Amino acid sequence: MRSVFANLCVAVSCLPAAAGLNAARAQTSASVPASLPQTRPASPATVASHVPGDVRLYAEVRDPRGISRYGAGAGLAGGVLAGLRPRAATTPAATAGPGWGLRQLFAQAVGLDDPGAIDLLFSGPLGVAADGWSGLSDAVLVAWPNDPAALAGALAARLVPATVSGKVRRYALAHDHELACDGRSAVVGRPGKRTSLYARTLDLLERGGGASLADQPEFRERTASLAADSQLIVYVGKAAGAAAGQDPLTAWWPEDWPWLETVALGLALGGDGLTVKVSGRLDPDGPPLTRSEPPIQVLRRLPPSVIAAWTQAIDYVGTFRRLRTQFSHDPEGFHFDALEAGLESGTIEKRLLGHLVGDTVLLIDQVTVKPLAATDDAETLILPTAAVVVETDDPDAVAAALAPVMTNVVRLVNGQLPAASAVALRSEPVAPGGPTMHSVAVGRVLGGNTKCDLLHALDLSAVVADRWLVVATDPRTLRQIVAARRGAAEPLPVGDLDRIVEQVALRGGQPRRVLYAQPRSAGQMIDSWIRHISAHHPEMLQPQWWEKLLRRQRAMGKQLGILGRPADGAVEVVDSLPGSAARGLLQTGDRILAVDGIKVDPAAPLKSLRENIAARKLPDRITLLVRRGDKPQEITLPLPGESPDAAIRSPVELLGQFAALSRLFGSASYVLWQPRPDVVDARIDLRYTASTQPAAH
């Protein structure tokens, strides 16, 4: 179980990462102050000079108190803490603001309950270091308090007597932690082996110097690329011998994305927003970064309703061939040959995909619908839509191939529907006198008998307009894209992105990926989801509903540890698995009749048994009514309990917190470029909305 101290480490490191890694990964990040960071490197690391040089994870907060003065810092810190804090932690201190929230999380971890001592410890720069992702529970905190003597006085009662005369004095804390101070630096960690990170950090303090992280060339080079005014810095190194797929830093990336050996992030907060600069060294054993020239001009002519738009290099023919081969081995899977029914073999590659050139623009838009469950005509729901925009080198060939391929899509859809519900290919001008748009309501199949508004609203549409192929999941989005491209609608305001791209180019950089997003619009869309859930599914707002769902999912597995089969309306035990709850209590031939007094449905006994287990009265045990031979009897089985730390938070609550963070920022910009073949840099800027921008002082 990860300790609360490990949560603190995650909290400190996630403040910049929340804006950096997530923005670069999901590519839904932020706009920009009007200029790039200073060209001079970030100021020399302070606390890193007291951290062993072989650590793999390091986060430094240069001004802990100053972060919460900015709306972005307070919002990010508050959001991260809300996600990390246990659901039961609702003390007044927990709501005293993000600055105190970090200190309270720390106090809970190490048992330092003196608010004065905590304030003194957090009064200056601090850093959190760990040997790796698996070593977060043994991380150390290194601080440079403004008044070390006052901190020592506040901790005098905790002084370890054996260290009174030493250079480094140590103070006993709770939960197996201690604090050590040499009169300038303070270190908090868990004592252990001589090879532990805490012991190595103490050794560095005792010697008064040595091979610190700040002395490592790679650390210095990566952090030198960050903005000079960065208030937070995160550095992630790659452990020796670790494969890219084993590194959480890149484990979630697609296989064809470049791997990173090391990466540094710097976050700079300002009065109009925040900037994250990322600098990473590419792993030479990984795939190279695809060289491309993003069609930035397309982003300048998108509708203002777009939530996020980004560029991506896509090998359409190669991807199609890989998918075709992959699905050909699945007899029940999707058959790509069906898309070419009645067409010359290879039509999709030769006539369609082979004529798509340059980088693709992918985007998330929004449409407003009336929910299926609405009881009021005025009720609305904002749904996301997706679209792809890519240039063609032969628009006539692509347009000619588009109609028959879409016709085959209709055949595939109707093959899954009863005749009475068949859909038809709709072909109509995208605008008066404009090119033909083809649409098919795929939501008829995907939505099925569900009440999912998102699935039911899917209406695949495609058109070739002005040499560009546009494919969208809603015809309204497609029409808005074409209208904006033709100047018939207000364009997306991407001026901030343009300024970043221009300044990168002036310094000799060539953008490889760009993104522009409107986080505030994303927050408003999520707000509409939460209103809809509150009105029609209020039970989903409660953590208990999600806990029950989780238990049900677990119950669908082998929670009892039995192999069973239907028998005369009951479940007959064929065998019990070694080490399971049923081992030694249930016997082969036993027939399970009821669970906690609820009878097993004789029409579907196995399914009923799983559902009854999921709905059990108590989480840690269950009572079965069993017929053994001719005699019914009740048998109580212990089940693996869930500790309080394992209690889950409602995803709806987390969505609400994400929406609140998103509403802080009106725009987001992201640019990635390569200053050298082995290095990749990125800049992420988020600008406040007018309502959250701090007032001038």
Question: Is the pLDDT reported for residue 366 higher than 90?
Answer: yes
Average pLDDT of the segment spanning 664-679: 92
The SS3 call for residue 252 is coil
Q: How many CB atoms lie within 10 A of CB 391?
A: 18
Q: Which helix (H) or strand (E) holds 625?
A: strand 621-628
Residue type, 134: S
pLDDT at 17: 38
Cβ-proximal residues to 661 (8 Å cutoff; 6+ apart), any chain? 18, 75, 76, 79, 519, 523
Question: Is the pLDDT reported for residue 601 higher than 90?
Answer: yes
Asked if residue 447 lies in contact with residue 455, where contact means CB atoms within 8 angstroms, the answer is yes
Question: Is the pLDDT reported for residue 244 higher than 70?
Answer: no
Query: Pick the residue with more confidence: 250 or 511?
Result: 511
pLDDT at 470: 98
CA triple 593-598-603, angle to 5 deg: 60
pLDDT at 694: 46
Asked if residue 160 lies in contact with residue 118, where contact means CB atoms within 8 angstroms, the answer is no
Question: Is the pLDDT reported for residue 630 higher than 50?
Answer: yes
Most confident among 36-40, 61-65, 229-233, 429-433 (mean pLDDT): 429-433
pLDDT at 80: 45
DSSP secondary structure letter of residue 652: H
Asked if residue 477 lies in contact with residue 367, where contact means CB atoms within 8 angstroms, the answer is yes
Query: Pick the residue with more confidence: 206 or 303?
Result: 303
Cβ-proximal residues to 333 (8 Å cutoff; 6+ apart), any chain? 327
Length of the chain, in residues: 697
Residue 517's alpha-carbon distances to 53, 510, 652, 669, 689, in angstroms, are 38, 21, 23, 6, 13
| Sole residue written with tokens 């064929």 | 574
pLDDT at 74: 53
Average pLDDT of the segment spanning 302-320: 94
Question: Is the pLDDT reported for residue 2 higher than 50?
Answer: no
**Percent above pLDDT 70 for the chain:** 79
Residue type, 77: A
List the structure tokens of 540: 């989903």
Where does the pLDDT of residue 8 fall: very low under 50, low under 70, confident under 90, or very high at 90 and above? very low
Least confident stretch, 78-87, 372-381, 382-391, 618-627:
78-87
Residue type, 579: G
Complete domains list, the chain, with CATH: 4-279 (no CATH), 301-493 (3.40.1000), 547-646 (2.30.42.10)
- Residue 84 CA to residue 654 CA, distance in Å, equals 11
Q: Taking Cα atoms as reference points, which of 19, 37, 36 lies closest to residue 28? A: 19
Average pLDDT of the segment spanning 629-645: 76
CA triple 620-622-626, angle to 5 deg: 160
Most confident among 197-201, 519-523, 535-539 (mean pLDDT): 519-523
Question: Is the pLDDT reported for residue 508 higher than 70?
Answer: yes
- Separate counts of helices (H) and strands (E) for the chain: 20, 25
pTM > 0.85: no
Cβ-proximal residues to 35 (8 Å cutoff; 6+ apart), any chain? 499, 503
Where does the pLDDT of residue 287 fall: very low under 50, low under 70, confident under 90, or very high at 90 and above? confident
Q: Taking Cα atoms as reference points, which of 172, 205, 217 lies closest to residue 191? A: 172
Which residues are registered as beta bridge partners of 632? 627
Q: How many CB atoms lie within 10 A of CB 423?
A: 18
Query: Pick the residue with more confidence: 560 or 522?
Result: 522
DSSP secondary structure letter of residue 96: S
Residue 252's alpha-carbon distances to 39, 108, 236, 247, in angstroms, are 32, 32, 16, 9
Least confident stretch, 196-210, 637-651, 657-671:
637-651
Least confident stretch, 283-292, 359-368, 580-589:
283-292
Average pLDDT of the segment spanning 141-163: 92
Q: Which helix (H) or strand (E) holds 440?
A: strand 436-440
| Sole residue written with tokens 């000799």 | 508
Query: Pick the residue with more confidence: 325 or 143?
Result: 143
Question: Is the pLDDT reported for residue 27 higher than 90?
Answer: no
- Residue 146 CA to residue 148 CA, distance in Å, equals 6
Question: Is the pLDDT reported for residue 239 higher than 80?
Answer: no
| Sole residue written with tokens 């997003």 | 517
Q: How would you class 324 by CB atoms within 10 Å of its CB: exposed for 0-12, middle for 13-18, buried for 19 or more?
A: middle
Sign of CA dihedral 100, 103, 105, 107: negative
- Residue 299 CA to residue 372 CA, distance in Å, equals 33
- Residue 157 CA to residue 495 CA, distance in Å, equals 59
Which residues are registered as beta bridge partners of 598? 595
> Where would I find the H helices in 615-682?
651-662
Average pLDDT of the segment spanning 637-642: 71
Question: Is the pLDDT reported for residue 644 higher than 60?
Answer: no
- Residue 77 CA to residue 101 CA, distance in Å, equals 8
Where does the pLDDT of residue 449 fall: very low under 50, low under 70, confident under 90, or very high at 90 and above? low
Least confident stretch, 400-414, 422-436, 612-626:
612-626
Average per-residue pLDDT in the chain? 81
- Residue 686 CA to residue 263 CA, distance in Å, equals 20
pLDDT at 272: 86
Query: Pick the residue with more confidence: 335 or 131?
Result: 131
Average pLDDT of the segment spanning 64-92: 51
Cβ-proximal residues to 1 (8 Å cutoff; 6+ apart), any chain? 643, 645
Residue 44's alpha-carbon distances to 145, 213, 233, 351, 443, in angstroms, are 18, 12, 11, 57, 56
